[in-house]
Amino acid sequence: MSELTKRATIYFDPEIHRAMKVKSALTNISVSEYIDKAIRRELTEEIEDLQAFEERADEPSFSFEQVLLDLKANGKL
């Protein structure tokens, strides 16, 4: 964690803060490192979502009504 160079003040619900402190004690990972890893995971998921949207940009889209009619026509509704 020594590579981190920026500080931020973050406010948590007391129960969430307590849970992070317990997790930190059990895993020997500082609360700061625990939060840093969680944020990195979240940002990585966002990148993956954006890539998936980009990959599917040319796929046709269907309205909800079209999907319902198709399900009904196929005997699924």
40, 46 in Cβ contact below 8 A? no
Q: Over 70: is that where the pLDDT of 4 sits? A: no
Does some domain include residue 1? no
Site of tokens 């020594």:
2
**Can you tell me whether residue 11 is helix, strand or coil?**
coil
- pLDDT, residue 46, reads 93
Domain carrying residue 34: 14-73
Does some domain include residue 5? no
Number of domains in the chain: 1
Q: Over 80: is that where the pLDDT of 2 sits? A: no
- pLDDT, residue 64, reads 96
pLDDT mean over 6-14: 93
Q: pTM of this prediction? A: 0.60
- pLDDT, residue 20, reads 94
Report d(CA 14, CA 69) in Å as an integer.
Answer: 49
